[in-house]
């Protein structure tokens, strides 16, 4: 229990493969206004305009628009699959990775390049010699291509897009495959960024300042702008197409930022991409990018005489050059902070179980060298002596661990209890936007939130690499401060509503946009803090005494690393965060320092408050169908909730239920969360079935993309695990299932049983969710101590025994038929086909695991003879279990044979830890069936 949640690459389930919740591909509203993509009867029979443009156009601006259209439409699964069938990902990869960002002399063309687009080699391969000035039009087109690829990867089913990219072979000109090309592009981009910054002059500041003004005018077109805005947009577009801008520093920074965002989702989804970035040279490059971006941003922010973010009404304006320089520095700081976030995310994803990163950080293959010296006489060090790391990098990591500047900034913010006292209205801006409600002040706050987010990811990387007590002690202060000052996402969301809905009386358009952007970055910080807490909790749980594996509470209580977690108010702050996402009163629940949760409202005032919030959320979902900012905020909220439930699920295993307060309130809060998310799914499914994309305001956010649907079902999976844990602990506290006597302390109802059964049968439900639902329903009905409840649980469990598991492979098949039809006997030689074969094997294993849990539930229901006459024999339980025993015995035998053959012939391990559970259930079934037959 409490095992670290490492990257789940190619994890087979009935839903799409889980993607990192912080990397949801977003595109601006109206990105594809000029394209009308109509679904045909068969997605394989149409070629959309954007696909045709990608293949045939020789204009960079047209290619850029086509990439933006692909990014928009790739959010929907049907279009995502159609793009894959048209080889769009491979074309985008060609434009991004193997097209130099400058124009070469005519005649040097790549065989796969579009007419007019020239290429002779990988852009990364030219960095060892001086290269021509990059072309701005190409850079913008490649940035859009990276965004489109990210959207395709994140929203694809079962990692089909990343599998297609990594198995496409090598580029004919460069000799590199996709993963190698992506890693080389990061290196080449970073060198170009450094070179461009070194070459910046005051004249360039002025050029960038004026160009930025023109592009902002073009992008902010309104009904009253007349001809000025279109003219400015046209001018900027022509300049990009001609590539005439001398300085491309900011354009290169955006290019690198988007490439790193693509790298993060690829690293999570593909072992090949992770290996390409996991070399010592690649890791040191990422560390250097992170160090330079972070330290440069901090130096500018803390410059004693700089007035980059000073109030323009108070600070002397000076010459136009000074104004341009300030604008330049503000833009640089913002982009560098964003770059730091992207780089830190990649390193965090690479850090679990990464020997190469441990080698870089510690200078040895072990992790002991990463211990922080506890002696005050010696300088603190997050890393040991390593010849590969520079003194600057070591100092930077130690600074990130201490985070003194960020802690000082957070100390100025009100405590979470003070924040909860604020009541929002249309007549005032929310206080969390800062004391100075100016655009520049909000820009500065946004940068600080980005730096906080990057630092939290750095700390997570170090804890992953060296989960020792000293490092845990050093990351807890910043984590504690962040949870106490920057959490409460639903509270912040409520304060943002007037800005999102356009009803705030004291916010012009600039303030509204700046405030919305700042709040989104703050919500990302909350997500990063919860993600770090998850890393820390898992690292602590990994140190639990293995001899106490059957009692998680005792193992956690005896763990010496658990004491720091339970001191300093960390769990208290997380408890308030948990109540916030559950829409519960912060004053309800247990006393103490545990992660307390609250139940539903108990008085009329609180009930009205919840009703108001529900009405606001419905209005916001309706607004999300036409407001990209609203959609972005809701996506962050969904992703944050996923992380919160994951942490809460682990803590619920480790902490006594009594620490959560009244178990009935806790249970009702969790069931309400399940119900609200299931209703979202039903509304979206209904709208999809009726053929309209925006017919249901209630489900619009879930209809937004495949990613939102994944986030929703990931939430339900964690919530199901928590409900199952509560039922197991209730059963254990009452003496076990055989001694249960009306111990429904959580006050569960028949409606709860019905809801869990309906959720379990959804095709999108994962195997883990199905398993937790059947286990929860069994224990829940058993606690009710009525023949009707037990009969209901028995019927459900028997149906799962016969037809449980991922919808992709079950569908009424017997267990051996699932194996025979979906797992070919011959292991494919092709790597891509072998990955698919392993996925199918994992699906079959998941079906076996779910059905074993259902069989186990049935045995728990009828361990004694009290209900044999009334339920067991009339329902045919005995015959169903006997049939399943034969199926399971055959499955276990075939899997053992497969493990031996594959290991001997392919040197590949197909063993699964679930095999032990199968054997245990099989043994119990044999004894149970024999006992029932003898005592009939």
**604: pLDDT strictly greater than 70:** no
| Confidence grade of residue 700 (pLDDT, cut at 50, 70, 90) | low
Contact yes or no for 690/683 (Cβ under 8 A): no
pLDDT of residue 644: 96
pLDDT of residue 785: 84
pLDDT of residue 726: 93
User: Distance between CA atoms of 13 and 5, rounded to whole angstroms?
Assistant: 16
- Quick: pLDDT tens for 628-666: 788 888 899 999 999 999 999 999 999 987 777 788 888
**623: pLDDT strictly greater than 80:** no
pLDDT of residue 403: 95
**Of the candidates 114, 134, 129, 45, the residue with the CA atom closest to the CA atom of residue 81:** 45
Q: Of 397-411, 546-560, 882-896, where does mean pLDDT reach its minimum?
A: 546-560
More confidently predicted of 936 and 237: 936
- Quick: pLDDT tens for 18-38: 444 444 444 333 333 333 333
More confidently predicted of 925 and 610: 925
pLDDT of residue 32: 34
User: Domain extents for the chain?
Assistant: 1-200+247-277, 662-784, 786-936
Percentage with pLDDT > 90 across the chain: 51
**17: pLDDT strictly greater than 60:** no
**846: pLDDT strictly greater than 50:** yes
Rounded mean pLDDT of the chain? 81
- Quick: pLDDT tens for 62-100: 999 999 999 999 988 889 999 999 999 999 999 999 999
User: Distance between CA atoms of 704 and 632, rounded to whole angstroms?
Assistant: 10
| Confidence grade of residue 609 (pLDDT, cut at 50, 70, 90) | low
More confidently predicted of 655 and 586: 655
pLDDT of residue 549: 74
**204: pLDDT strictly greater than 50:** yes
pLDDT of residue 879: 95
Q: What does the block give as tokens for 591? A: 């006393």
| Confidence grade of residue 606 (pLDDT, cut at 50, 70, 90) | low
What are the start-end ranges of the H helices in 592-627? Answer: 604-624
More confidently predicted of 275 and 353: 275
Q: Of 200-204, 380-384, 655-659, where does mean pLDDT reach its minimum?
A: 380-384
pLDDT of residue 478: 97
**920: pLDDT strictly greater than 90:** yes
Non-local CB neighbours of 916 within 8 Å, separated by 6+ positions: none
User: Distance between CA atoms of 702 and 716, rounded to whole angstroms?
Assistant: 14
The most confident of the ranges 322-326, 766-770, 863-867 is 766-770
User: Distance between CA atoms of 122 and 233, rounded to whole angstroms?
Assistant: 32
The secondary structure of 776-802, three-state, reads HHHHHHHHHCCHHHHHHHHHHHHHHHH
- Quick: pLDDT tens for 443-492: 999 999 999 999 999 999 999 998 889 999 999 999 999 999 998 999 99
- Quick: pLDDT tens for 158-173: 889 999 999 888 888 8
């Amino acid at each position: 229990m409490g095992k670290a949640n490492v990257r789940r690459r190619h994890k087979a389930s009935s839903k799409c493969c889980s993607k990192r919740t912080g990397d949801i591909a977003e595109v601006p509203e109206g990105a594809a206004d000029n394209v009308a993509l109509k679904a045909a009867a068969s997605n394989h029979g149409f070629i959309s305009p954007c696909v045709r443009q990608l293949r045939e156009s020789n204009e960079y601006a047209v290619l850029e628009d086509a990439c933006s259209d692909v990014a928009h439409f790739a959010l929907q699964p049907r279009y995502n699959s159609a793009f894959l069938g048209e080889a769009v990902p491979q074309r985008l990869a060609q434009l991004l990775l193997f097209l130099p960002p400058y124009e070469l002399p005519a005649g040097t063309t790549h065989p796969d390049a579009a007419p007019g687009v020239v290429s002779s080699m990988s852009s990364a391969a030219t960095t060892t010699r001086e290269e021509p000035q990059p072309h701005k039009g190409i850079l913008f087109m490649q940035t859009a291509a990276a965004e489109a690829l990210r959207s395709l990867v994140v929203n694809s089913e079962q990692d089909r897009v990343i599998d297609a990219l990594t198995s496409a072979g090598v580029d004919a000109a460069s000799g590199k495959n996709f993963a190698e090309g992506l890693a080389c592009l990061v290196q080449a981009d970073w060198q170009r960024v450094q070179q461009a910054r070194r070459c910046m002059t005051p004249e360039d500041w002025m050029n960038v300042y004026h160009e930025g003004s023109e592009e902002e005018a073009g992008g902010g077109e309104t009904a009253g702008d007349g001809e000025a805005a279109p003219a400015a947009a046209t001018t900027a577009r022509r300049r990009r197409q001609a590539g005439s801008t001398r300085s491309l520093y900011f354009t290169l920074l955006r290019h690198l930022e988007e490439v790193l965002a693509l790298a993060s989702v690829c690293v999570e989804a593909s072992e090949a991409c992770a290996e390409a970035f996991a070399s010592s040279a690649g890791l040191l490059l990422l560390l250097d990018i992170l160090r330079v971006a972070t330290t440069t941003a901090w130096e500018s922010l803390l410059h004693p005489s700089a007035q980059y973010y000073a109030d323009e009404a108070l600070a002397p304006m000076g010459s136009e050059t000074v104004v341009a320089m300030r604008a330049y520095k503000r833009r640089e700081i913002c982009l560098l902070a964003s770059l730091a976030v992207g780089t830190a995310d990649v390193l965090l994803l690479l850090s679990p179980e990464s020997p190469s990163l441990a080698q870089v950080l510690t200078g040895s293959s072990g992790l002991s060298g990463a211990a922080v010296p506890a002696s005050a006489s010696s300088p603190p060090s997050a890393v040991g002596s390593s010849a590969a790391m520079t003194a600057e990098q070591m100092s930077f990591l130690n600074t990130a661990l201490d985070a003194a500047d960020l802690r000082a900034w957070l100390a100025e913010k009100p405590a979470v209890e003070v924040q909860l006292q604020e009541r929002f209205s249309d007549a005032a801006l929310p206080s969390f936007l800062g004391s100075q409600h100016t655009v520049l002040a909000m820009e500065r706050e946004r940068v600080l939130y980005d730096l906080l987010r990057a630092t939290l990811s750095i700390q997570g990387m170090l804890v992953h690499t060296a989960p020792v007590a000293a490092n845990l002690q050093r990351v807890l202060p910043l984590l504690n401060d962040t949870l106490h000052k920057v959490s409460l996402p639903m509270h912040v969301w409520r304060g943002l509503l007037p800005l999102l809905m356009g009803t705030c009386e004291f916010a012009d358009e600039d303030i509204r946009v700046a405030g919305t952007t700042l709040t989104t970055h703050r919500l990302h910080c909350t997500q990063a803090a919860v993600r770090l807490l998850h890393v820390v909790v898992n690292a602590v749980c990994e140190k639990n005494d293995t001899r106490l594996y059957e009692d998680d509470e005792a193992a956690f209580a005896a763990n010496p690393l658990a004491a720091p977690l339970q001191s300093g108010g960390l769990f208290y702050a997380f408890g308030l965060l948990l109540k916030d996402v559950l829409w519960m009163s912060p004053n309800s629940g247990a006393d103490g320092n545990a992660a307390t949760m609250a139940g539903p409202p108990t008085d009329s005032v609180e009930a009205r408050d919840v009703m108001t919030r529900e009405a606001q959320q419905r209005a916001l979902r309706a607004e999300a169908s036409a407001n990209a900012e609203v959609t972005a905020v809701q996506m962050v909220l969904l992703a944050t909730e996923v992380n919160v439930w994951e942490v809460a699920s682990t803590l619920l295993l480790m902490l006594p239920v009594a620490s959560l307060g009244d178990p009935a309130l806790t249970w009702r809060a969790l069931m309400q969360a399940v119900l609200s998310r299931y209703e979202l799914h039903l509304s979206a499914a209904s709208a999809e079935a009726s053929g309209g994309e925006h017919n249901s305001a209630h489900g619009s956010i879930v209809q937004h993309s495949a990613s939102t649907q994944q986030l929703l079902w990931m939430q339900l999976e964690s919530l199901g695990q928590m409900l199952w844990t509560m039922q197991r602990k209730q059963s254990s506290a009452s003496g076990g299932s055989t001694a249960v006597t009306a111990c429904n302390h959580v006050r569960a109802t028949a409606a709860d049983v019905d809801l869990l059964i309906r959720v379990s049968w959804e095709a999108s439900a994962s195997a883990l969710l199905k398993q937790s639902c059947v286990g929860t329903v069994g224990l829940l009905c058993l606690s009710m101590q009525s023949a009707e409840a037990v009969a209901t649980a028995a019927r459900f469990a028997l149906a799962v025994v016969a037809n449980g598991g991922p919808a992709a492979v079950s569908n009424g098949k017997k267990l051996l038929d699932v194996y025979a039809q979906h797992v070919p006997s011959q292991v494919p030689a092709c790597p891509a086909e072998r990955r698919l074969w392993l996925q199918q094997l994992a699906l079959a294993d998941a079906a076996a695991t779910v059905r074993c849990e259902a069989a186990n539930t049935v045995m728990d229901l009828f361990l004694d003879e009290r209900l044999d006459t009334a339920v067991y024999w009339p329902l045919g339980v005995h015959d169903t279990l006997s049939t399943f025993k034969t199926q399971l015995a055959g499955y276990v035998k075939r899997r053992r044979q497969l493990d031996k053959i594959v290991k001997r012939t392919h040197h590949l391990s197909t063993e699964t830890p679930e095999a032990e559970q199968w054997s245990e259930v099989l043994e119990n079934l044999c004894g149970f069936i024999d006992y029932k037959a003898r005592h009939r």
